[in-house]
Amino acid sequence: LGHVTLIGEDNISAKNPWFPRHASELDNCNHLMTKYEPDLDMNHPGFADKEYRARRKDIAEIAFAYKYGDAIPHIEYCETENKTWGSVFNTVLELMPKHACSEYCRVFKLLQEEGIFTAERIPQLEEMSNFLKRHTGFSLRPAAGLLTARDFLASLAFRIFQSTQYVRHKNTPYHTPEPDCIHELLGHMPLLADPSFAQFSQEIGLASLGASDAEIEKLSTKTLQQQMSPVLNATSMSWSSLDTRDRVNISCEILETGFTRDSYTKRVTLQVYWFTVEFGLCKESGVVKAYGAGLLSAYGELLHALSDKPELRPFEPAVTAVQPYQDQEYQPIYYVAESFDDMKDKFRRWVSAMSRPFEKNLNHLFSN
């Protein structure tokens, strides 16, 4: 309860927003975007499946009870769940050599050699967390569902990845709108064990620290709409075409640029995150390969991304950061990096050109 007061209204001020300053404070960073859950989203494949929803809920409870420093509880996955994993695993295995970036393939092999990645069973988050710790110092903590971007990104600043632990519905093995452990494990884990990519992920997290969700909720839609018009005009979007999540995202942008923060923003971090960590493509000897987790865990979208259907644009943070994204269907646009290093350089240059009033504090965050 002591922690709860930290994010209470009284402590939120435009000048001094709360953000975690130690990994233990991530115990407060578990706010969910519930509208994508099977209970609320009619399009969710588990919407009509009571048993599925109950199972998902049981596993989610574990995440709510989790505290920093705990071992991640073991989940006894049932046969159906392991089978769903197996079919996704086997398609990844098949497509990987041709379509996944070399860093991904390298770690994937290691995970196979250590017996963590096999078609037979879903890896436990605890064993995966230990694997990551050895390679890049990243570790996992269980998450109950799709977190707010703010909470999720904040954890990356501490080299902690918040991972769901429940499994997608058996009817839709090859694409799910909300993250599940198959997406986390097959999509995210290999690259989080890559030093260069781990560094990049942490930097996105660091760039996200400092703005507050509560501030956004406090503003009325009308106010937001007024605040938003210059931004909307600049990007030729209209308020009514945006869903709630985009509104919230853009509202953060306005809060941060318009009257509380300078222009390093939610957008910087969320949209750049989205088009890199989740749906990024990169070149390898002239061939376009996938490194984004949302592609590597969803073979339908992987093939779509590498077909001639979507538009591919060169990764350019300033452009990517104002690109609205699609979170229900396949992306119509992807951004292609020349290489990981090129992506990191561009991102760094861009972030460093922004003024971040609390940046000086960040050096003390990781003293432990």
Which residues are the active-site residues?
A: 183, 188, 278, 297
* Ranges within 181-240 binding ligand NLE (CB under 6 A): 183, 187
Kindly tell me which residue out of 164, 176, 251, 260 binds ligand NLE, with binding defined by CB under 6 A: 176
Calpha distance 40→177 (Å, rounded): 13
| Of 59, 81, 94, 199, residue with least CA distance to 138 | 199
| Of 343, 350, 206, residue with least CA distance to 276 | 343
| Of 194, 70, 187, 222, residue with least CA distance to 131 | 194
* Ranges within 234-293 binding Fe ion (CB under 5 A): 293
189 interacts with Fe ion by CB under 5 A: no
Kindly tell me which residue out of 141, 175, 266, 304 binds ligand NLE, with binding defined by CB under 6 A: 175
What would the x/- binding string for ligand NLE be over residues 292 to 331, using CB under 6 A?
Answer: --x--xx---------------------------------
- Which residues on adjacent β-strands are paired with residue 139? 160
Min dist CB 291 to Fe ion, Å, is 12
Residue 107's binding partner among Fe ion, ligand NLE, none (Cβ under 5 to 8 angstroms by kind) is none
Min dist CB 286 to Fe ion, Å, is 28
Rounded (10°) angle between helices 266-273 and 149-156: 80
Calpha distance 234→271 (Å, rounded): 17
CA atoms within 13 A on the CB side of 366: 12
* Ranges within 286-345 binding Fe ion (CB under 5 A): 293
How many residues of this chain bind Fe ion (CB under 5 A)?
A: 2
Calpha distance 57→32 (Å, rounded): 13
CB-nearer residue toward ligand NLE: 179 or 210: 179
Rounded (10°) angle between helices 266-273 and 195-208: 150
Interface region with Fe ion, contact rule CB under 5 A, candidates 13-21, 77-85, 171-179, 229-237: 171-179
Calpha distance 209→351 (Å, rounded): 13
179 interacts with ligand NLE by CB under 6 A: yes
Residue 175's binding partner among ligand NLE, Fe ion, none (Cβ under 5 to 8 angstroms by kind) is ligand NLE
Positions in the binding site for ligand NLE (CB under 6 A): 175-176, 179, 183, 187, 278, 294, 297-298
Positions in the binding site for Fe ion (CB under 5 A): 179, 293
